[in-house]
Structure 1
Amino acid sequence: MEKVGYKRIWGPLLISMLLSAPVSSQESTLTPFSQMQSLNDGWEPLEFPKIDQLSRYELTTEDGQQVVRATTDGGASGLIARVRLEPTDSLILQWRWKVSNVFENGDAREKSGDDYPARIYVAFEFQPEKAGLFERAKRKTVEVLFGESLPGNALNYIWANTLPKGEIVPNPYTEKNMMIAVNSGSEQVGEWVTVERDIMADYREAFGEEPPPVVGIAIMSDSDNTGEKATAWYGDIFLNPGS
């Protein structure tokens, strides 16, 4: 199997392993990066088999506030936080981020360009009653082999290269992941950008159905497909009920 497929094929499995510990029925607290003493305060590493070169994450002070700085140079890895959120009418995910550059060969529609200087990943619980026979069998095999269950659909909020801002497209590896361009191009490179998204509304638009519970939030800066370099800064991430 080619190297570029591992983070998409194995990523959901590793996320499920990190999400397997019990959490409260309605836990919406994400540890703010500005309050962390170390990267282990409420967040955990997300790494992928067969990808030896990892993105680097570190706490740093940028513009007077503690943030997470991610550096990627031909590798891929992330940080993930477990949550448990039942679906509601509206749920606002808010964050701010900054990137040093976009990827010249980045393309959200192609496997070879499926890299982003910054992304936020929102994982939802698997719904077996809506899956086909093949999908259920595949997931059952994973459970038997690894003792873990895979999560279901996911939203990826990305800083895209050419995909127009606001556009939603399926990931080139799997339609279970939908890519949403919340920033695009180099116009705001080097600037802090604040983003607010209603993840419930986005799920309905992306998948055409009501969302299941949210089970995880992750950040990831990756460049294993394009082999390019970038630095991203992630500010605090918040989850709040919509108005």
Structure 2
Amino acid sequence: MRYIFTLLRVSTLGLYLSILALNLLSALLPSYAMGEQGLPIGAPPAAFGSSIEEWQERSFSGNTRYEMVNKQGVEVLKAHTQGNASILFRELPVDVSKTPLLNWTWMVDRTYGGIEEQSRAGDDFPARLYVVAQTGFLPWETSAINYVWASNAEVGEAWANPFTDQAIMIAVESGDSCVGKWKSHTRNVADDFKQHFGKDIDQLAGYAVMVDGDNAGLEATAWFGRIEFSAEP
């Protein structure tokens, strides 16, 4: 059976909606709980946990450089942008009726000062983690939530992507106070889709990471530790 994984991302020219038809992988991510306070700030994360070959890249404006590196003794994903944007995605069904909690760790080397993140010209983030769900019967009826490390928005602030109302941005981290330190987060994906789209979802179509600076011509590096889903924190 084939699903459509719709990546909601745009360039400075306007709405970029790309639909890719890929075979779904059969296995779910292993359950592993890591709460918001489960990892001390600055502590090394769990390893990224999957081969980069299991992910696919889509370019929007040049290519963010994605590579596996050793950081603090563990293998993590490094992403570096120099005014460009590409997304690294994994089409993998996740049963959020059983494992609704998304757990991850990340770190950035800087944030972007002086940009208006809720505008088209400032829609750049030093780190993003997407989750995508099909929310209608047609293949292109998809919605996405972007959990972002914001530069200026307040933690907890949410807004519609400036190019499409089918993508919601949620600032889970913001500013420079934790730059250079590992941070861990947990979000209830099912609850977030219900709150922001009014949809009850049982399954995700996939998820993705991105570090981008194409709209404002900026540079940043982020590192991602393990990304996984669990039933309990």
TM-score interval for Structure 1 and Structure 2 normalised by the shorter chain: 0.7 to 0.9
1:110 is matched with: 119
2:22 is matched with: 20
2:84 is matched with: 75
Point out the structure with the larger helix share.
1
1:4 is matched with: 12
What is the CA distance between 1:43 and its match in structure 2?
1.2
Could you state the TM-score of these two structures normalised by the residue count of structure 1? 0.78
Task: Say whether the 8 Å CA contact 2:132–2:145 is kept in structure 1.
Answer: yes
CA RMSD of aligned residues (A): 2.2
SS in 2 for 1:4: coil
Q: In the comparison of the two structures, how many residue pairs are matched?
A: 209
Letter of the 2:175 partner, please give it: G
2:222 is matched with: 232
Q: Any residues of structure 2 matched to 1:112-191 within 5 Å, and which?
A: 112-128=121-137, 149-150=139-140, 152-191=142-181
Could you state the TM-score of these two structures normalised by the residue count of structure 2? 0.82
Identity of aligned residues (%): 30
**Alpha-carbon spacing, 1:164–1:35, altered in 2? closer, same or farther (3 Å):** closer
Q: Which runs of 5+ in 2 are unaligned?
A: 1-9, 31-45
What is the CA distance between 1:212 and its match in structure 2?
5.2
Find the partner of 2:182 among 185, 192, 206: 192
In 2: Cα distance, 1:28 partner to 1:167 partner: 30
Letter of the 1:207 partner, please give it: F
Q: Any residues of structure 2 matched to 1:54-93 within 5 Å, and which?
A: 54-88=63-97, 91-93=100-102
In 1: Cα distance, 2:13 partner to 2:211 partner: 16
2:29 aligned with 1:29, yes or no?
Answer: yes
What is the CA distance between 1:89 and its match in structure 2?
7.0
SS in 1 for 2:92: strand
Task: Say whether the 8 Å CA contact 2:48–2:224 is kept in structure 1.
Answer: no
Q: Deviations over 1:69-107 (max 9, x none)?
A: 111010001211111134427601001000010111333
Give structure 1 regions of 4+ aligned residues with deviation exceeding 2 angstroms.
32-36, 105-108
What is the CA distance between 1:234 and its match in structure 2?
0.7
SS in 1 for 2:224: strand
In 2: Cα distance, 1:20 partner to 1:103 partner: 34
Letter of the 1:21 partner, please give it: N
SS in 2 for 1:163: coil
What is the CA distance between 1:235 and its match in structure 2?
0.6
Letter of the 2:130 partner, please give it: Y
Letter of the 1:241 partner, please give it: A
SS in 1 for 2:107: strand
Letter of the 1:68 partner, please give it: L
